[in-house]
Amino acid sequence: MNDSELISVLSRRGIRPTQQRIAVYKYLLTHPEHPSADTIYRALVEEYPVFSRTTIYNSLGALIEAGLVRQVNICADEQRFDATVTDHGHFFCKECGKVYDFGFDSPAMVSRLCPRGFIKEQGDVFFTGICKHCYSF
């Protein structure tokens, strides 16, 4: 996705496509490893020497509000962020610390887990354990 496409995506979602928001969103799109706010900050401050930590939080908040980004409660100590907003699962490897995405064979099945009468806005399936790569040794 090039810059003009990003601009129109943000505009369509009703938020002003500022340079900072685009940079944060682009970082998330190109780094699907669920980075933390601090990871994003340290990466972007290299590229744009003047970039505030607060702006990272503000931009993430705006992007979340707009439905382009979601937060993932995978680690207890810090919040992680994800530009993939369609329902998908996460596997956290205790060994290497990586967070893997995985899809569902039948997404409807996951929605069916939600109890009757409860209005689901977001769903998350989260597994913890040992990943494929760390297990084979």
Q: Which residues contact Mn ion (rule: CB under 5 A)?
A: 82, 84, 101
Nearest residue (CB) to DNA, 65 versus 95: 65
Torsion angle in degrees (nearest 10) through CA of 53, 55, 58, 62: -130
Binding mask 5-44 for a second copy (x = CB under 8 A): ----------------------------------------
Region near DNA per CB under 7 A, out of 36-44, 97-105, 117-125, 126-134: 36-44
Please identify which residue in 36, 39, 71, 84 interacts with a second copy, judged by CB under 8 A. Answer: 71
Rounded distance between C-alpha atoms, residue 21 and residue 124, angstroms:
25
DSSP state of 33: T
Helices 37-47 + 53-65 axis angle, to 10: 120
* Binding-site partner at residue 124 among Mn ion, DNA, a second copy, none, CB < 5 to 8 Å by type: a second copy
Q: Which residues contact 105 (CB under 8 A, 6 or more apart)?
A: none
